Chains A and B, each alone.
Chain A
Amino acid sequence: ETGVTQSPTHLIKTRGQQVTLRCSSQSGHNTVSWYQQALGQGPQFIFQYYREEENGRGNFPPRFSGLQFPNYSSELNVNALELDDSALYLCASSLAGPGSNQPQHFGDGTRLSIL
């Protein structure tokens, strides 16, 4: 039990649609990161938020965007969905800000399927 919860657990969308995924971080954790995990692969870093601002981004296009709220919950938004966006989306939270080496703790993810 990591204390990181994600919703929904599963979601089906069609190409071109938009989706919002949600994450509630472990209490007191002020850094949240989002990862995309394609089937059979390791998670890939999308971006990180610290104190409600984006702090680092992986190799993902601008149609992937996020928000972090004062209560440490966060959202991942994806516009203009493509078939390749089908994946497990993982949220991870950690204590302390960028530059720290505190380990990240993951939620169970949202399985997104694009038809």
Chain B
Amino acid sequence: GQQLNQSPQSMFIQEGEDVSMNCTSSSIFNTWLWYKQEPGEGPVLLIALYKAGELTSNGRLTAQFGITRKDSFLNISASIPSDVGIYFCAGMIKAAGNKLTFGGGTRVLVKP
């Protein structure tokens, strides 16, 4: 079946620094979505990408839909403590309805 591989699995951030995470797949997706999940809550949509090559920003977040349609990355600029959480990429194939296939997540933690 389809699988999305996210890397890194976890990372530590220091306030003010830029961080990047990515997601790769062996399958092509029509839509890529990035969600953030905090403890005790459901995933919250951050960015949706609909076209290969598309680059979209949402505040300090920037995400790109890879040209091959098999990958995407998410950048967070000027990290702040509230960026802590688990970030999930999710792919959608139009022919399969709008069922989401999720990656395993990148856990973002604050450096002690």
Q: Beyond A43-B102, A101-B31, is A48–B97 a contact (Cβ under 8 Å)?
A: yes
Within 8 A of A (CB), among B91-112: 92, 94-105
What are the residues of chain A within 8 A of B50 when measuring CB–CB?
101
Question: Interface residues of B: mostly helix, strand, loop or mixed?
Answer: mixed
> Is A104 in contact with B104, judged by CB distance below 8 angstroms?
no
Interface status of B21 (Cβ within 8 A of chain A): no
The number of A-B residue pairs with CB atoms under 8 Å apart is 76
With most chain A CB atoms within 10 A of its CB, the pick from B40, B41, B43, B45 is: B43
Q: What is the distance, in angstroms, from A92's C-beta to the closest C-beta of chain B?
A: 8
> Contact check: which of A6, A44, A100 meets B98 at CB < 8 Å?
A100
Q: Beyond A59-B1, A101-B30, is A42–B102 a contact (Cβ under 8 Å)?
A: yes
Residues of B that sit less than 8 Å from A by CB? 1, 4, 30-31, 33, 35, 40-45, 48, 50, 88, 90, 92, 94-105
A-B residue pairs in contact (CB < 8 Å), sample of 7 = A35-B102, A41-B105, A45-B100, A90-B42, A94-B98, A99-B94, A100-B94
Residues of A that sit less than 8 Å from B by CB? 2, 4, 6, 31, 33, 35, 41-45, 48, 50, 55-56, 58-59, 90, 92, 94, 98-109
